[in-house]
Amino acid sequence: MNTLTPIQQGLTDRFFRYVRTESQSDARATTVPSTESQWTFARLLVDELTTAGATDVHLSDTCVVTAKISGTGDGPAIGFCSHLDTVDVNLSPTVNPQLTHYEGGDICLNAELDLWLRAADHPELAAYEGQPIVHTDGTSVLGADDKAGVTAIMEAVTELGGQTPHGDIYIAFVPDEEIGLRGVRTIDFDRFPVDYAYTVDGGELGEVVETTFNAATATITIAGVSAHPMNAKGNLVNPITLAMEFANQLDAQETPEHTEGREGFIWLNHIDGNQSTCTMQLSIRDHDREGYEEKKQRLRALASDLAAANPRATITCDIVDVYANISDAKTPENSVGSERLHATMRSLGIEIKEIDMRGGTDGSWLSNQGVYTPNYFTGAHNFHSIYEFLPVPSLERCYELTLALMRGE
């Protein structure tokens, strides 16, 4: 089939409109939001929510969009959350989405640059033969993470209507998820007073996430002693050399590229140094709380030992918790959101694929603030990559699920 259904066309048009609105976050910034472009996207959503009939539409001073769809009957207050920002992985902030009716084989992303989405490298493509697929032009990420989620929520809000009784529904679109869940931490719960919530920020069709990493960022700062080479012997303390010594004591097999499933890791992902100082940043991840705490303590011990062996250097280790495992916040009392999600997916004939997410969501933070927040699929694949793609029928199923959850079906 080479044509889109009316609902697929509407979803695709909305998705294209959103991804063409730049909204990369910037980890170097110290403000929330981290970029001006997220304000632009937020204001667009404020206008569209207002037009759709939402009430209490509000844009906070940290760029959190909240809104309410008043209940038309009895039922729990349910929240839906997605994030405004797209990731910055040193690709173009401008997204030029492409629609291909996939008939198998490789997909040419950009003929001029000779960039291809190869079926041999991406066997997941085979499941979508005969379907319309949105993909990149090879110069950027697609931004389905998380504008596919925003699309599904907004289309459901627009189509909700008053035909089916439902409880109060609350919407939250937050900035800076990609740089440590900075935006959701500023949410005003008086504007998001829900019994439970969902993040719409998952991957392939059917994916459900109720287990995420525990996450922390460690910053190792080394202040050495600079000296001219003519009198460096016995005087120079090279902070870069000490950073290398620290790094060499890490387990080379306990890194993202060597772990999978529920295996945790320590990821040295940034070093910045000169003759006087050197700073290292490391990501600490583990699904298991005990393993997570052990990794943090191990880094502190390595820094302490290095400082003891080099008393003329000043070495500090600062560790900041970023988010926690959703599953640690689940209780018999708050599990109704999970039960309802599973029941609704079964009623819609969507196969449930529960995964232990090797990452986190805004729901990781919300859940540990008392609002249990599972995450479910958008339908997209290969986040944070030029090879990111979104099968339109999968986005349609995400929209159908979102609408059914809102209606209490």
Residue 337 pLDDT > 60: yes
Residue 191 CB coordination number (10 Å):
18
Q: What is the pLDDT of residue 364?
A: 94
pLDDT at 409: 79
| Known active-site residue 178 | no
* Range list of β-strands (E), 87-243: 98-101, 107-110, 115-117, 132-135, 169-174, 196-202, 207-211, 214-223
Mean pLDDT for 317-339 is: 93
Residue ranges of the domains in the chain? 6-212+325-407, 214-323
> Rounded CA gap, 171 and 65, in Å?
8
Percent of the chain's residues with pLDDT above 70: 99
Beta-bridge mates of residue 132: 101
**Where is 282: in which H helix or E strand?**
strand 277-286
Cα–Cα distance for residue pair 170/182, rounded to 1 Å: 20
User: How far, CA to CA in Å, does 23 sit from each of 37, 83, 375?
Assistant: 5, 10, 22
**Residue among 154, 145, 204 at smallest CA distance from 178:** 145
Please tell me the distance from the alpha carbon of residue 406 to that of residue 73, in angstroms, as a whole number: 12
Q: What is the pLDDT of residue 163?
A: 66
Task: Provide mean pLDDT across the span 344-362.
Answer: 96
Phi-psi group of 150: left, alpha or beta (phi > 0 → left; psi -120 to 50 → alpha; rest → beta): alpha
What is the topology classification, in CATH, of domain 214-323? Answer: Alpha-Beta Plaits (3.30.70)
Mean pLDDT, residues 180-186 taken together: 95
Instruction: Write down the pLDDT at residue 73.
Output: 83
Residues forming a β-bridge with 266: 284
**At the top level of CATH, which class does the domain 6-212+325-407 belong to?**
alpha beta
pLDDT band at 408 (very low <50, low <70, confident <90, very high): confident
pTM for the full predicted model: 0.91
| pLDDT tens digits for range 51-79 | 999 999 999 999 999 999 998 888 899 99
- d(CA 265, CA 284) in angstroms, rounded, equals 6
> Rounded distance, CA 371 to CA 363, Å?
8
What CA–CA distance (Å, rounded) separates 285 from 266?
6
Residue 333 banded pLDDT, cuts 50, 70, 90: confident
- Confidence band, pLDDT 50/70/90 cuts, at residue 2: low
1 has pLDDT over 70: no
- Please indicate whether residue 190 is annotated as part of the active site: no
pLDDT band for 189, please (50, 70, 90 cuts). very high
The answer to whether the peptide bond before residue 251 is cis (omega within 30 degrees of 0) is: no
Contact 65, 49 (CB under 8 A): yes
Q: Which of 177, 201, 396, 400 is catalytic?
A: 177
pLDDT in tens, 78-128: 999 999 999 999 999 999 999 999 999 999 999 999 999 999 999 999 999
Arithmetic mean of pLDDT, 257-263: 96
Mean predicted confidence (pLDDT) in 380-398: 97
pLDDT value at residue 162: 63
Look up residue 109 and give its DSSP letter.
Answer: E
Q: Which of 22, 48, 85, 400 is labelled catalytic? A: 85
How far from 353 is each of 301, 350, 357, 384, CA to CA, in Å? 39, 9, 11, 21
Alpha-carbon distance of 306 to 317, in angstroms, equals 11
Please say if the pLDDT value at position 182 is more than 60: yes
User: pLDDT tens digit string along 144-174?
Assistant: 999 999 999 999 999 987 667 789 999 999 9
Q: Give the rounded percent of residues in the chain with a pLDDT score beyond 90.
A: 95
Check residue 165 and give its pLDDT: 79
